[in-house]
Structure 1
Amino acid sequence: MHRRRRHPRRQPDRRDQCATGVWTLKHDTAPLFDSLKQFVERDQAPFYSPGHKGGRTLDPWFRAHLADLDLNNLPDTDTLHCPEGPIADAEELIADAWGVGQSFILVQGSTSGNIAVALSALRPGEPVLVARNAHKSVLAGLVQVGARPIWLEPRWDARFGVAHGLDADVVERAFAESAAKALWVLHPTYYGTTGDIAALAELCRRYDAKLLVDGAHSPHFAFHPDLPTPGERSGAAATVQSVHKILSGLSQAAVLHVDPTQLDPATVRRALQLIQTTSPHFAIMASIDLARRQMMTDGREMLEATLDRARRTAGRLAAIPGLTVLRPDHLAGPGTGLHQLDETKLLVGTSTLDMDARDVVARLNAVHGVQPELSGTGHVLCISTIGNTEADMDRLVAGFDEVARRAGRRPEESHGMVADVLAVRPEPVLTPREAFFAGAESVRLSEAAGRIAAEAITPYPPGIPLVMPGERLDVEVLALLTALRDGGNPISASDPTMGFVKVVT
C-alpha cells in the first residue's frame, strides 16, 4: 500500500548565509504550516479521511471556535481519565447510540484503543488468533502485553491486489489446533470488506474465546441497514472505531465499545489511564459528542445519500475502459472473508491500465484536483463519506476517465510471487514482545539465515507481513525476500532495499 502523502524529500531554500560565510537556518519560516496552508487553499475533491472533508459536516459554531475549545481539565470541563460530569454523560450517550454496554472516548485514535484492548483482554504468554493483515497498533498491543499471536492468513483477492477478512473455516481450524483465548479481527478492512462476523462470533462462543474487533473504519455501520453488520452488536467483547475516519470527528477522535459481561470496564479504564494523554484536546472529544448527535438525528438520511452517491459513482467508474470497481457482485458468500462490503468505499482496480497506480493518483491530484486516500499495486482507494458532494463525484469520474484514456491498456497485471508469500509460514520462536525487547542488530540479508527477525517485513503486494517480529528467517524466507527485492517489489522494512535486515542478537 502506498499512502498518498509519500513524496520525495524536498530541499527548500530555508538557509541564509551570513557575512562570515556560515549558513544558518531561516527561523522566520514555518515549513509545515506553509505546506498545510498551501494544501488547504487548493481547490480539490477530497477522497481521503477525515470524514468531515475539510469541515463540511462540522457544527458551524464548533468549527468557528476550535481554538476556544483548546481547554484543560477544569471543574467545568471534566477529566477524561476519571470522568464524572459532561465527559461521563457523553460516553453514556455514545454507548446508547451504538447499542453497547459501555463506551470510552479516545483522543489518540484507534491505536490507543487497540493497545487498551490488548492490556484489558489478553495476558502474557496467552495464545490469541490474529489476522495477519492487522494494523500495526494490534502488534503494538501484543508487544506491550506479551501475548503469543497465532497469525491467520486473510482471504487474498488477486483481482484488486488486496487482502480481505478471515474465512470462518480458517478460524475454526486454528481454534481446534490451539488453546487460543481470543480472536482479533479486522472488521472491516481498509477497503471496506468484512468477514462473516456472525459466524466468527459463533466460533468464539463455541471455543469460549473473546472476539476482539479492530473496527477503525466501521463507526457508521450501526446507523444504516445497508452497511455491513456492526462488530459491536455481534457479540464482540471489545470494538474500536475511528470516528474521524468516516464521520464528523476531528483527527484522532475514536471510541472503544465493550461488553461489560465479557470485559471489566474498570480494567479498561485503568488501561486507558496508562495510555492516553493527561492533556486531551477537548475539541477532539467534543467532535465525538457532536458526531454521535449528528448520527442519531440525521445519520440515516445522510448515509442514505452517501450510499446513493457512491453506488452511482461506482457504476460510472466501472464503465470506464480499463477500470474495475469492487461491488456487491464480487462478494464470496457467508463464512468467507469477503462476506459484506461497505459501498461508501470505492476500491478502483487499475491493473489493466498501462500506468502504475501511484502515477494514477499523482495525475488525479496534480491535474484534476482529486486526492484519493491511497494507491497500491493495481488499485486506488477513494473514501467517500457524508462530507462528499455530487461535484466531488463528477470530478472523480472525469479525472479517472482522462487518466485511463491517457494511460492506455495492457494485459492484466500479474501479482508475481504473492502466492509464495501467502504460502510461507515462518517459524515463530519469540513473542513480539520478546523480540522487541531483545537486543537487535542489522545484518546483511544474505547472512541472516537462521536468525530471528526483530521487525516486521511486508512486501506489497500482498501488504501482509511475510515475517513478523520473533519469527525465524529460514532459507526459504530469505530466498523469497531476495527474489522479491530483485524483482522490484516494494517492501516495508527498516531497510526497504532489503540489503540489511534487523535481527535479534
Structure 2
Amino acid sequence: MASDAAHRRAPLFESLRSFVERDQAPFYSPGHKGGRTLDPWFREHIAAVDLNNLADLDTLHCPSGPILEAEALIADAWGATASFILVQGSTGGNIAVALSALRPEDPVLVQRNAHKSVLAGLVQSGARPIWLAPQWDAEFGVAHGLSVDQVDAALAAEPAVALWILHPTYFGTTADITALADVCRRRGVRLLADGAHSPHFAFHPELPTAAETAGAAATVQSVHKILSGLSQAAVLHVDTDQLDVPTVRRSLQLIQTTSPHFAIMASIDLARRQMITEGRELLDVTLRRARRTAARLAEIPGLRVFGDEDLTGPGSGSHQRDATKLLIGTAGLGADAGEILAQLTRIHGVQPELAGSGHILCITTIGNTDTDMDRLVDGFADIAQRVGLRDTEVAADAGIDVLGLAPEPVLTPREAFFAATATVALQSASDRIAAEPITPYPPGIPLVMPGERLSAEVLDALRALRAADNPISAADPTLERVTVVR
C-alpha cells in the first residue's frame, strides 16, 4: 500500500503542468499548439462542454440533429459525399474502414509502413494482407509511398479487393494518388487511404492532392494533428458510390464510445468552420513561414532539409510533399539526432515531433509563429556550432535492409492474434510463426508481422538489430524472447 504522502501527489497531472509551464516552441501535434488557434469562448469553456448525450445535443451513434448537420457540413467542406465524426482518432477510423470495406479472407494490398491501427483493422476484419514495401529514402532514413508500377504489378499477380495506402506518410510525402486511383478503378478494387496527416490538403492548392477527392472509397483524417482539433478529433470521409452510409455507421457503432467527449466533436465543427472561412489565408502564411524556415535551416552547415528536389516524380512513391512538414537531415552533424533533439528541448525550449536515425521532424501548423521559427533556427545553429561536422557523412538508414526482407505469410493477422501462443527465446524461434509485430526504430516498419514466419534470415536481422542497440517495439523490447503461435 502506497503511503499517504504518495497519494497526495498526482504524478500525471504534475508532469503535464510542468510541461505546459515550460517556455517552449511547439513543433509537435496537436495543430492548435497549446490552444493558440482555438475559438476563444471554446478554449475558456472546455470543462463546461464536457457533456453527455443530452436531448438538446444529439447522439453520435444515431445522429439526427446538430451532429448530423455538422457531419453534412464536414462532407461539403472536404468535398466528400458523406463524412463521419470520430472521437477516437484515426485509429478508430481505420478500424471502421476495415470493418466496412473488408471481409474475412479478403485479399488486400497494404503498404507495409501502415500505422498499427491498420493492423488492428486487419485483425478485427480477418482480411488477408498482401504487404507491399514502400519506397525507401536512404538519404533521410524514411519510407515514402508505393509506386504505380508496383501496385499494378501486384494486382496483376494476385487479385485483391482493395489497396490500403498511407497518404501522406508521417513525414509529409505522398505517392501519385491520382494514378493509383486510376489503377484501382481499372482493376476494380477499392482505394482506402489512411490520411491521418492530410486534413488540410483540401484547403490549399499548394498542398498535395487530397485522397477524398481523388477517388478513394474511404479516407481517414486526424483533425487534431494539423488543424484546430483537440486530441482524438478525426473524420472519416467516404464515397457513397463505393461504401454506403448504413454499413459505415454500423461499423462505427461497434467501436466508438457511447460517451463521446462533446468538446472533441465541437472542435471538429469549429476546425471545419475555420478552414472554410479563413483556411486559405491561414495556410498561405503557414506555407510561407515553413518554406522560409526550411531555407534558413538548409544554410546551416551539416543540415539538409527535404525539399521538392528530393521528390522522385510522377508514378513514384515520392511524388508530392507537404511543405508544412520540416524533415531535417542531421547526418552531417557530429551528434546523433536523438542527442540533437534533447539539446533543442533542454537548452533552447524547442520541442520537435520526433527524432529518427539521421533526421528530426518538425510539424508546423497554423498555430506556429515567427518567434517559434526563429527559436528553431537559432537552436539548430547553436547546436551545429557546438557539435561540429561529422568527418564522414553517413547514410541515415540503420544498415539493415528491413524492407528487403519478405517474411513468408502463413496465417492472417487475425488468425495469429487469436491462436494459442507461447513465449520462446529468440534463438529457439526459428521457423515459428510470429504472433506479434516486431518493429525496429528506425525505420518504424515491422520487420515481421503477426502470421509471418520467423525464418533464419529474419532472426539474423533481429539479432543484428539487437546487437546494434537499435530500439525495438515488441512485447520484449530486448528481443531475448518473442511471442509465437504455439
Partner of 1:401: 381
Residue pairs, 1:358-373, within 5 angstroms: 358-373=338-353
Counterpart of 2:482 in structure 1: which amino acid? V
Among 16, 26, 38, which residue is 2:18 paired with? 38
Is residue 108 of structure 2 the alignment partner of residue 128 of structure 1?
yes
Residues 415 and 461 in structure 1, CA contact (< 8 A), matched pair in contact too:
no
Residues 326 and 347 in structure 1, CA contact (< 8 A), matched pair in contact too:
yes
Shift of 1:449: 0.6
CA-to-partner distance for each residue in 1:78-119, whole Å, 9 max, x for gaps? 000000000000000000000010000000000000000000
Shift of 1:15: 6.1
Is residue 278 of structure 2 the alignment partner of residue 298 of structure 1?
yes
Instruction: Please tell me the root mean square deviation across aligned C-alpha atoms, in Å.
Output: 1.2
Counterpart of 1:188 in structure 2: which amino acid? P
CA-to-partner distance for each residue in 1:265-305, whole Å, 9 max, x for gaps? 10000000000000000010000000000000000000000
Residues 139 and 395 in structure 2, CA contact (< 8 A), matched pair in contact too:
no
Distance 2:397 2:317 in 1: 22
Shift of 1:408: 1.3
TM-score with structure 1 setting the length: 0.95
Partner of 1:177: 157
Residue pairs, 1:314-333, within 5 angstroms: 314-333=294-313
Among 283, 287, 294, which residue is 2:267 paired with? 287
Is residue 66 of structure 2 the alignment partner of residue 113 of structure 1?
no
TM-score with structure 2 setting the length: 0.98
Counterpart of 2:131 in structure 1: which amino acid? W
Residue pairs, 1:145-156, within 5 angstroms: 145-156=125-136
Is residue 136 of structure 2 the alignment partner of residue 162 of structure 1?
no
Shift of 1:494: 1.3
Residue pairs, 1:236-251, within 5 angstroms: 236-251=216-231
Question: Larger deviation: 489-498 or 306-315?
Answer: 489-498
Question: Larger deviation: 131-140 or 357-366?
Answer: 357-366
Among 214, 227, 240, which residue is 2:194 paired with? 214
Among 80, 83, 87, which residue is 1:103 paired with? 83
Partner of 2:240: 260
Secondary structure in 2 aligned to 1:422?
Answer: coil
Distance 1:265 1:25 in 2: 53
Counterpart of 1:243 in structure 2: which amino acid? V
CA-to-partner distance for each residue in 1:246-276, whole Å, 9 max, x for gaps? 0000000000000000001100000000000
Question: Larger deviation: 103-112 or 454-463?
Answer: 454-463
Secondary structure in 1 aligned to 2:26?
Answer: strand
Shift of 1:353: 1.2
Counterpart of 1:456 in structure 2: which amino acid? P
CA-to-partner distance for each residue in 1:228-257, whole Å, 9 max, x for gaps? 000000000000000000000000000000
Residues 95 and 103 in structure 1, CA contact (< 8 A), matched pair in contact too:
yes
Is residue 470 of structure 2 the alignment partner of residue 471 of structure 1?
no
Residues 331 and 396 in structure 2, CA contact (< 8 A), matched pair in contact too:
no
Runs of 5+ unmatched residues, structure 1 = 1-13, 17-23
Counterpart of 2:298 in structure 1: which amino acid? A
Distance 1:153 1:208 in 2: 22
Among 265, 288, 292, which residue is 1:312 paired with? 292
CA-to-partner distance for each residue in 1:28-72, whole Å, 9 max, x for gaps? 111111110111111110000000000000000000100110111
Residues 27 and 363 in structure 2, CA contact (< 8 A), matched pair in contact too:
yes
Distance 1:423 1:34 in 2: 45
Distance 1:415 1:467 in 2: 21
Q: 1:473 to 1:25 in 2, by over 3 A?
A: farther
Partner of 2:472: 491
Shift of 1:488: 2.3
Partner of 2:171: 191
Secondary structure in 2 aligned to 1:46?
Answer: strand
Runs of 5+ unmatched residues, structure 2 = none
Residues 357 and 397 in structure 2, CA contact (< 8 A), matched pair in contact too:
no
CA-to-partner distance for each residue in 1:169-191, whole Å, 9 max, x for gaps? 11111101111010000000000
Among 462, 476, 488, which residue is 2:443 paired with? 462
Distance 1:353 1:279 in 2: 49
Percent identity (aligned): 71
Partner of 1:349: 329
Secondary structure in 2 aligned to 1:295?
Answer: helix
